[in-house]
Homo-oligomer: A and B are copies of this chain.
Amino acid sequence: MSFEILSRSRAFGGTQLVCRHASRETGTAMRFAAFVPPQAEGGRKVPVVWFLSGLTCTEENFTVKAGAQRIAAELGLMLVAPDTSPRGEGVPDDAEGAYDFGLGAGFYVDATEAPWARHYRMKSYVEAELPALVAQELPADMDRQGITGHSMGGHGALTIALRAPERFRAVSAFAPIVSPMTCPWGEKALAGYLGPDRAAWRAYDACALIEDGARLPELLVDQGTADTFLTRELKPELLEEACRKAGIALTLRRQEGYDHSYFFIATFIEDHLRWHAARLG
Contacts and interface: CB of A to CB of B under 8 A. Distances in A.
A42 interface: no
Contact of A267 (B12, B65, B258): B12
A65 to B, nearest CB: 5
A72 B187 CA distance: 41
A263 B67 contact: no
Describe A's contact surface by its main secondary structure: mixed
Contacts of A261: 9
Contact of A226 (B10, B12, B264): B10
A90 interface: no
Interface in A222-281: 224, 226, 255-259, 261-264, 266-267
A230 to B, nearest CB: 14
A214 interface: no
A266 B10 contact: no
Contact of A9 (B10, B64, B259): B259
Contacts of A183: none
Interface string A191-235: 000000000000000000000000000000000101000000000
Interface residues of A, number: 24
A10 B67 contact: no
A12 B262 CA distance: 11
A91 interface: no
A263 B16 contact: yes
A11 interface: yes
A69 interface: yes
A70 interface: yes
A9 B67 contact: no
Interface in A2-33: 9-13, 16
B10 A224 contact: yes
A258 B10 CA distance: 5
Contacts of A10: 224, 226, 255-259, 263-264, 267
Given A10-B257, A65-B65, A70 B224 contact: no
Contacts of A11: 263-264, 266-267
Contacts of A13: 267
A72 to B, nearest CB: 12
A267 B72 CA distance: 12
A157 B67 CA distance: 24
A264 B67 CA distance: 12
Most chain B Cβ neighbours within 10 Å, of A259, A261, A263: A263
Interface of A: 9-13, 16, 64-65, 67, 69-70, 224, 226, 255-259, 261-264, 266-267
